[in-house]
Chains A and B, each alone.
Chain A
Amino acid sequence: MPTVRTGPTLARVLAVAAPAVLAFALLPRVVDLYQTELLIYGFTFAIAALGFNLLLGYTGLLSFGHSAYFGTGAYTVAFIVRDLHVHSMELCILGALASTLIIAALFGYVCVRHTRIFFGILTLALSQVIWSLAFKFFWVTGGTDGIRVPRTGITLLAGLMDFKGSGSYQRFVYSYYYYVLVLFLVAVAIMWVIVHSPFGKALQAIRDNEVRAAFVGVPVRRYRWIAFVISGLFTGLAGALWVPLNGLTTPDILYWPFSGEIVFMTVLGGFRTFTGPIVGAIAFNYLKVYAVASSQYWQLVLGVVLVVLVMVLPSGIVGTLKRLAGKLGRS
């Protein structure tokens, strides 16, 4: 009876995760305010990409409409703060998750009836419905101006921390960094459990071979739907966390190029690995910020990176590193 386990044991996972967590926790002491802020953006996008990859990497469905869930999360927070005068970030997050759940369940129900390109086009089309609503109903959504969500309007930890008065910006960035970091770690842990559970294996089985998945008793369409909703929820959480940081939500984050950016992040990091989307999202955020800052042709820079990526590193940053590590280990 073989007793060797090569599956990810808890000890091995912790050996990888613990130094990373420690590094993230200490980073704001080392880097400046601006870098800290960039990292928060990176974490929020990482949560979105992590959710997106449950569909692409694990279920084999390429969604081209994840802007819808990011935007739903973001706009819900904006509505709650502006219209309900609720300031607690925790309540905002719960509200954002609830509204994303509804939208993702509804859209997912329609989309999982199809696969491949038809699935992608449907997700794209439905996300653009949300975008056009935000765009056209300007008396509710502010149109292209969007809705401002000032950091003074929110409180963290059930009102324990607010950000009014002098030096509040700095205070906000450093507190919010740890706030988002903790939620990011929770999201990563939940996703790790999901993809390593029998349910996660069933999703991978559907990805590999949907016919056979049905023949081992996996209800393929229902599981795709559940994966879709979970995926949407992660992305919705990301959108909710992004708003106070950005201070403003506009229809841009509902527009299809933003869906494309989520795809880009995931492919950049490597969609065949668990950590790929995380690394990809953080890397993409830096890439875009520096491309925008250094050149007016920043889209071109991103385009070239994408082409090189697909041609030279199809398995993404993490996938390539893993392969190199594997080679080194053998030689």
Chain B
Amino acid sequence: MALLQTIDLKRYFGETRAVDNVNLSIEEREFVSLVGPNGAGKTSLINVISALLTPESGRIIFKGEDITHLSVTQRVKAGIARSFQLVNVFDDLTTFDNVALAIFSRQGKIAHLGSLAHLDHEVTHEADAILGQFGLASKRDDSARDLSQGERKLLDVALAYSLRPMLLFLDEPTSGVSTRDKAQIMDTIASVVRAEGITAVIVEHDMDVVFKYSDRIVVMAQGAVLAQGTPDEIRKNEQVAMVLLGSSAPDAFTRKD
């Protein structure tokens, strides 16, 4: 049984078909890339699945249960977490507090007034471990506002990861980051995700990144799923090359450099 399944999922913005009858299955422990031109509905699809947007029709099945009408926090509890295309962290909290809050939340300990954030050794230990995994240990006590763009991106992902989700959506985790940092961020994310056996769905424009890390690639255009398959299958798909690159040449994805 698929971990996540969408059935005829639909969301329009006026005339624009952001998500148009999408039927998609995600298997457990898969690393799936969602690609497509701007406005293809990749982010909208993630928004609908994560409850930031409500669908007009269709159903979302997670772990065999219909979650279409669950709230954001209920879906988080069920095991779905996400990061954001535009950095979405708690700017005035320290890097440590950002992550610690997510851990407290996951453990249902937020309401424990007695457990001061810095006195809970278990949480402190885990938060420090996660900051280490994401290479943010040296920024532990800086407020999130003072981090570099790349670090903020990583913190955004670390926040979602700290919830130890079964299914993790990453919406352009490397956008707005220099090419050099990009590889590092992706390596960090991929290694963490693989090590923990997390199912990941990532939106990404850089096809090199997509081909390198994905088990499966889903191509979207105008709100619908255009094609899906392994990196090799997608690489050879002329229709996909046409949509993504405006060229149907078989070697369109091969960089000439």
**B89 to A209, Cβ gap below 8 A?**
yes
Q: Which A residue sits closest to B107, measured CB to CB?
A: A198
**B132 to A205, Cβ gap below 8 A?**
no
**Known contacts A196-B117, A202-B101, A205-B90, A2 near B73 by CB under 8 Å:** no
Counting from the closest, the 8 A-B pairs by CB-CB distance are: A217-B105, A198-B104, A217-B76, A208-B90, A214-B72, A7-B118, A216-B102, A6-B141
Summed over the interface, the residue pairs from A and B with CB atoms below 8 Å come to a total of: 106
Describe A's contact surface by its main secondary structure. Answer: helix
Is B111 among interface residues, defined by CB-CB distance under 8 A? yes
Chain A residues near B77 (CB, 8 Å)?
Answer: 217
The digit string for B62-89, where 1 denotes a CB below 8 A from any CB of A, is: 0000000001110011000110100011
Bound-state CA distance A222–B140 (Å) is 29
**B76 to A204, Cβ gap below 8 A?**
no
Contact residue among B72, B93, B106 (Cβ-Cβ distance under 8 Å from A215): B72
**A201 to B117, Cβ gap below 8 A?**
yes
Please report the total number of B residues contacting A with Cβ < 8 Å: 45
Q: What is the interface of chain A, defined by CB distance below 8 A to chain B? A: 1-2, 4-7, 9, 193-194, 196-199, 201-202, 204-205, 207-209, 211-220
Taking the closest CB of chain A, its distance from the CB of B66, in whole angstroms, is 20
**B76 to A197, Cβ gap below 8 A?**
no
**A198 to B112, Cβ gap below 8 A?**
yes
Q: What is the interface of chain B, defined by CB distance below 8 A to chain A? A: 50, 52, 71-73, 76-77, 81-82, 84, 88-93, 97-98, 100-102, 104-106, 109-118, 120, 128, 132, 137-138, 140-141, 159-160, 162-163
Bound-state CA distance A194–B112 (Å) is 10
Contact residue among B73, B120, B128 (Cβ-Cβ distance under 8 Å from A219): B73
**Known contacts A201-B100, A215-B50, A216-B76, A209 near B113 by CB under 8 Å:** no
21 A-B Cβ contacts within 8 A?
Answer: A1-B137, A5-B118, A5-B141, A193-B113, A196-B117, A196-B118, A198-B101, A198-B110, A198-B115, A202-B101, A204-B90, A204-B92, A208-B90, A213-B90, A214-B76, A215-B50, A215-B82, A216-B101, A217-B76, A217-B77, A220-B73
